[in-house]
Amino acid sequence: MEFDQGLNKNINDDKLPLVSILLAVYKPNEKWFIEQLISLNEQSYENLELFVYNDCPDFPVSEEFFKKYITNFNYTIVSGKINQGSNKVFEELTQIANGEFFAYCDQDDIWEKDKISIMMNAFKEDDITLVCSDLSIIDENGKKTANSITEIRKRINYKSGYDLAEGLLERNFVTGCAMIVRKNIAKKAIPFVDSLVHDNWIAIIASLNGKIEFVNKPLVRYRQHNSNQTGILKGIYDKNTYYKFKIEGVLERYISLRDRLRDIEKLQGHINYCITSLNARKSYFFKPSLKQLKMIIKYNKYYKASILLEIFLPIMPEFVFKYIIQLTKKGIL
């Protein structure tokens, strides 16, 4: 890795803990990228640094963007030798940043001016390990289309409290660009697991080590566009892709998590339960039988909506299934 450091303003504030903004960059849309950088630079919180990872060696982002738009705090640019993907990039940034708290950042959103200030004020107790917030939704032109992400992702259920790891294994409610985590917790999450997005994995580790606090305000304008890395049922178009991502992929994830979390006894029963359920769903997908049907109904605690669909999946016409997927992606189902 190669480092370039820019210094535009000296900040010596002993009162506020240093927050490191960790920004992953890969061939960004220039207009959206500038809007994001401006929103970072205009943050009301007064002790910040920015670490940027250029993950496209063939087309690196020019430092001129940062010289022009990041003028209120220091920045460091890291240039990767090869494209690594967002999970590995955020892991690298987590290893090198200096702050007491880390704020993960995407290249195409817009942060509200008081985002970091409001979230940092939520760290009122020493055992709060991670703070997250809601997000509003904007389109490619910056027009707001939803006041909360829950309007389009109806299964998101925000929570505050302890012992949330089991639920986070099933359904993540922590979005990376809308969270701040203590440095020591983020370090505990290294190495990140390949089978989960970094925010989900960090949230699980945060919950295993303390309390997650939710701020019920949309502090990020989350831009939805065709190139988003994550999204509801992303990559699923037909029965085969559904099987690949929702059954086989999830099964492989739980098998890897069983090994990674082997020392966390309170999660092992849950993980083994899910593996049993997924193995039954896998068998039923290829060869439906009454035996496997009984198994997936018996082990349906965490997958009621999916199992209801999968019971009829083998006999469902492909065009009907595709229509259901389209309605789900639009947030209608």
Q: How far apart are the first and last CA of the chain?
A: 45
Give yes or no: residues 197 and 282 share one domain: no
Residue 215: pLDDT band by 50, 70, 90 thresholds?
very high
Which pLDDT score is estimated for 227? 52
Q: For 149-153, what is the mean pLDDT? A: 92
Encode pLDDT of 262-310 as tens digits.
999 999 999 999 999 999 999 999 999 999 999 999 998 887 878 888 8
Give residue 309's pLDDT. Answer: 86
Q: Tell me whether residue 228 is in a domain.
A: no
Is the domain of 164 the same as that of 259? no
Residue 63 burial (C-beta neighbours within 10 Å; 0-12, 13-18, 19+): middle
Total domains, the chain: 2
3-state secondary structure of 110: strand
144 lies in the same domain as 63 = yes
Query: Greatest CA separation found in the chain?
Result: 69
Measured distance CA(59)–CA(50) in Å, rounded? 20
Residue-range definition of the domain harbouring residue 21: 2-223
Question: How are beta strands 101-105 and 110-111 bridged, if at all?
Answer: unpaired
Which region among 78-92, 217-231, 282-296 has the lowest average model confidence (pLDDT)?
Answer: 217-231
Q: Classify residue 317 by burial, with Cβ atoms within 10 Å: 0-12, 13-18, 19+.
A: exposed
CB 222 within 8 A of CB 144: no
Q: What is the structure's pLDDT at 228?
A: 47
Query: What distance in Å separates the CA atoms of residue 294 and residue 15, rounded to the nearest whole number?
Result: 60
Mean pLDDT, to the nearest integer, of 50-79?
Answer: 94
Same domain as 201, residue 313: no
Together in a domain, 198 and 297: no
Residue closest to 61 by CA, chosen among 24, 86, 17: 24
* Residue 229 belongs to some domain of the structure: no
| Three-state DSSP class for residue 100 | coil
